[in-house]
Structure 1
Amino acid sequence: MTEQLTDDEKLTLKTGAFGAVFMVSNADPGVLAVFRESFAASGAMADASGVVKEALTGGPLPKLPRDSALEVESVVLPALRRALEILAEKAPQDVGVYRAVVLTAADRTARAHNGVSPAEAEVVERIRGVLGEDATGR
């Protein structure tokens, strides 16, 4: 059974997902890389379904801190945790969808420009850890 998500809950899902991409992109910044990475991540977001697609494709964009990677992480990682809690409560069938979309977007972002740097790999692993999956996808 799926319950309707509130606007705040949708924004939490969006903050986690878009923020994860932002974290990876900022791990190894570059002007041209940003465009390639954004395009790569948008494809993963478009593949979402159910309440996850509704949350990620509607409403306002999340406001993320821009001052430091640590500040971004302090907003994004809790949003990812909270997003999983929201989905587990209101749309348990979509928890896996959210995990897959966020991880695919983060992985595509990391690979979009000259392969995955060590800094990007580290950020993706932190995101994976929050989402409860190890490197093998479990």
Structure 2
Amino acid sequence: MAITLTDQDKNTLRTAAYGAVTLLSAAGAVAGSPHRIATQGSLALSSATGQVGHVLAENSKIAHLDGKSVAEIADHVLPALTSAMSLLTKQDPAEADNFRSTVLVAVEAAVRPKKGEPSPVMAEMVRKITAALDAA
């Protein structure tokens, strides 16, 4: 089923998905390699399918992802995740599931360390991202 998304809706989806990766990268600057985190997460997002994949593939500027702190970025990204899930769930629950799984795959790819477990900082950020996705 094709869903109808406004430009604002598409911006919300992109802010949420790429923002989750940006948030992890900013948190990872404390704990590891922010460039590796951003690269792995972005590559995972580029493999999205369905209408979500088409929206994420659009090349447009995403506002509010250049915050001066992790908290400032989170203030925009976490509500965007919840909003994205709400608007997709209302129109097409299957596409909402697609978005959720796409973001979680990107998060998993981003936080996967070369060896060992993700740091407690990264694990907590993943928990916050997942909670925002599930709050809708």
TM-score range (shorter-chain normalised) is 0.7 to 0.9
| Cα distance in structure 1, aligned partners of 2:39 and 2:100 | 19
| Cα distance in structure 1, aligned partners of 2:10 and 2:113 | 27
Q: Which residue of 1 aligns with 2:21?
A: 21
Residue 75 of structure 1: CA displacement? 0.3
Residue 21 of structure 1: CA displacement? 0.7
Query: Deviation digits for residues 65-85 of structure 1, max 9, x if unmatched?
Result: 421111111100110011011
Q: Which residue of 1 aligns with 2:111?
A: 110
Tell me which of 113, 123, 127 is aligned to 1:125. Answer: 127
> 4+ residue runs of structure 1 moved beyond 4 angstroms?
112-115
Q: Provide the TM-score with structure 1 as the length reference.
A: 0.85
For structure 1, the residue ranges without an aligned partner over 5 or more in a row are: 134-138
Q: Which residue of 2 aligns with 1:8?
A: 8
Measured at CA, do residues 91 and 2 of structure 1 come closer, stay the same or move farther in structure 2, by a change above 3 Å?
farther
Percent sequence identity is: 33
| Cα distance in structure 1, aligned partners of 2:29 and 2:114 | 10
Query: Deviation digits for residues 4-44 of structure 1, max 9, x if unmatched?
Result: 211111110010011111111111217x8233222211232
| Cα distance in structure 2, aligned partners of 1:68 and 1:75 | 12
Residue 129 of structure 1: CA displacement? 1.1
Q: Which residue of 1 aligns with 2:101?
A: 100
Alignment of 1:75 onto 2:76? yes
For structure 2, the residue ranges without an aligned partner over 5 or more in a row are: none
Matched residue SS, 2:29: coil
Q: Provide the TM-score with structure 2 as the length reference.
A: 0.86
| Cα distance in structure 2, aligned partners of 1:35 and 1:69 | 15
| Cα distance in structure 2, aligned partners of 1:34 and 1:14 | 20
User: Which amino acid is 1:98 matched to?
Assistant: F
Q: Which residue of 2 aligns with 1:136?
A: none
Q: Judge which range, 61-70 or 117-126, deviates more.
A: 61-70
Q: Which residue of 1 aligns with 2:37?
A: 37
Matched residue SS, 1:47: coil
Is the Cα–Cα contact under 8 Å of residues 2 and 90 in structure 1 kept in the other structure? no
Measured at CA, do residues 3 and 28 of structure 1 come closer, stay the same or move farther in structure 2, by a change above 3 Å?
closer
| Cα distance in structure 2, aligned partners of 1:28 and 1:34 | 5
Is the Cα–Cα contact under 8 Å of residues 14 and 55 in structure 2 kept in the other structure? yes
